[in-house]
């Protein structure tokens, strides 16, 4: 099936032999302090330009969202504090059901809750941006991550609407400025990874809210963390993107959230668009055949 890989190991599926263990991020929103070190460390390492000096009024978020010149984005959400455990927690394919969700509420606190979490490219197992890229600028690396090759991309922009998370974007700016006109997104610091280094954001993160490592290990650690939080009564905790059975085959960069995904600006149930591509090609074949047949029919007794 074109465009739809079932391989558990995306690196092996893309021609990498003897690839290292798949790498990823576990971003734990329960310990994020919203310092934005990740945003700056990322920009500094990757030479990304400043992209906007407007105050947005979205709590302390003046970044807005991920884009061509923002590869890490810290979301800030102010909300009334609900009784512990009373937050909504719908089971979603991206949010694996966990045992904590029906725990009784304990010691309701009043006041407010300030959620913070650092968003990033998900480095999907089934990555739509990668699938639809016509130039091969987007590439799966040996680490299982997805990167844009700056020297290849011609800025067709197709990856942008393809991404179910709205991550990748084409950099705007004065012509000639660095990487203007081409698609840009988190590379999981591919260059650093190749030298055995930690990605810049994870290295900077003061509270280890951003953890980098082997994906398998991160998933185990994240599951443990959720159990720990549930035991502590934080029953709102849930993982997002940690399940290989979800619509993108599991994210290489997944999250621990304290509320529904859309509260953080994440889609509740994203599905890689190319999952439906075989069906689309079949429809296209039918359509093409219809056109051909119609055209042929039009010439039956063509002369009037």
Residues 171-210 that bind another protein (CB under 8 A): 171, 180-183, 189-192, 194-195, 197, 200, 203-208
Cα gap 114→102, rounded to integer Å: 23
Residue with smaller CB distance to another protein, 163 or 186:
163
Q: For residue 262, give Cα distances in angstroms to 92, 95, 211.
A: 12, 12, 22
Among 55, 102, 174, 245, binds another protein (CB under 8 A): 55
> From the list 123, 140, 219, 230, which residue makes contact with another protein (rule: CB under 8 A)?
140
Selected from 6, 18, 50, 245, the binder of another protein by CB under 8 A is 50
Contacting residue, 8, 78, 83, 106, with another protein by CB under 8 A: 78
Site pattern 227..256 for another protein (x: CB under 8 A):
------------------------------
From the CB of residue 129, how many other CB atoms can be counted at a distance below 10 Å? 27
E strands in 33-158: 72-80, 112-120, 138-140, 146-148
Give the shortest CB-231-to-another protein separation in angstroms.
Answer: 12
Q: Is 65 in the site for another protein (CB under 8 A)?
A: yes
Confirm or reject binding of residue 71 to another protein (CB under 8 A): no
Nearest to residue 182, comparing CAs of 69, 46, 66, 273?
Answer: 69
Nearest approach, Cβ of residue 89 and another protein (Å): 13
- Residue among 20, 21, 96, 114 that touches another protein (CB under 8 A): 114
**Distance from chain centroid for Cα 160:** 13
Count of Cβ atoms closer than 10 Å to residue 76 Cβ? 18
Q: How far apart are CA 46 and CA 187, in angstroms?
A: 9
Q: What is the smallest separation between the CB atom of 141 and another protein, expressed in angstroms?
A: 8
299 binds another protein (CB under 8 A): yes
The 8-class DSSP code of residue 199 comes to P
Binding mask 148-167 for another protein (x = CB under 8 A): -xxxxxxxxxx-xxxxxxxx
- The span of 77-85, 214-222, 235-243, 249-257 binding another protein (CB under 8 A) equals 77-85
Should residue 6 be labelled a site residue for another protein when binding is judged by CB under 8 A?
no
Interface with another protein (CB under 8 A), residue from 84, 132, 218, 253:
132
H helix or E strand, kind and range, residue 27: strand 23-28
147 counts as binding another protein under rule CB under 8 A: yes
Residue 110 near residue 81 (C-beta atoms within 8 A): yes
Give me the phi and psi of 285, to 5 degrees please: -65, -45
Nearest distance in Å: CB 122, another protein? 12
**Site size for another protein (CB under 8 A):** 143
Query: Could you say whether residue 20 binds another protein (CB under 8 A)?
Result: no
| 92 lies in the site for another protein, by CB under 8 A | yes
CA 36 to chain centre: 18
Residue 85 zone, left/alpha/beta (φ > 0; ψ -120 to 50; rest): left
Q: What are phi and psi of 227, to 5 degrees?
A: -60, -45
């Amino acid at each position: 099936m074109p465009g739809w890989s079932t391989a558990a190991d995306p690196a092996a599926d893309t021609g990498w032999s003897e690839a290292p263990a798949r790498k990823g991020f576990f971003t734990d929103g329960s310990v994020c302090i919203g310092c934005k070190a990740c945003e700056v460390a990322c920009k500094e390492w990757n030479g990304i330009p400043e992209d906007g000096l407007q105050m947005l009024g979205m709590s302390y978020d003046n970044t807005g969202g991920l884009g061509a010149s923002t590869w890490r984005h810290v979301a800030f959400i102010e909300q009334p504090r609900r009784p512990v455990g009373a937050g909504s927690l719908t089971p979603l394919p991206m949010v694996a059901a966990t045992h904590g969700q029906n725990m009784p509420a304990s010691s309701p606190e009043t006041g407010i809750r300030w959620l913070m979490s650092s968003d990033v490219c998900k480095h999907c197992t089934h990555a739509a941006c990668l699938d639809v890229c016509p130039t091969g600028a987007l590439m799966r690396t040996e680490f299982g991550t997805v990167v844009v090759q700056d020297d290849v991309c011609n800025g067709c922009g197709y990856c942008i609407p393809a991404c179910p998370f709205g991550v990748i974007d084409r950099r705007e700016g004065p012509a000639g400025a660095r990487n203007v006109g081409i698609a840009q997104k988190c590379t999981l610091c591919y260059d650093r990874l190749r030298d055995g280094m930690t990605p810049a954001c994870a290295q900077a993160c003061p509270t280890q809210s951003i953890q980098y490592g082997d994906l398998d290990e991160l998933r185990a650690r994240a599951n443990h963390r959720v159990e720990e939080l549930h035991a502590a009564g934080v029953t709102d905790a849930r993982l997002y993107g940690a399940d290989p059975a979800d619509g993108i085959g599991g994210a290489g960069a997944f999250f621990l959230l304290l509320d529904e995904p859309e509260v953080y600006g994440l889609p509740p149930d994203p599905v890689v668009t190319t999952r439906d591509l075989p069906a689309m090609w079949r429809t296209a074949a039918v359509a093409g055949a219809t056109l051909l047949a119609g055209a042929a029919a039009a010439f039956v007794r063509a002369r009037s």
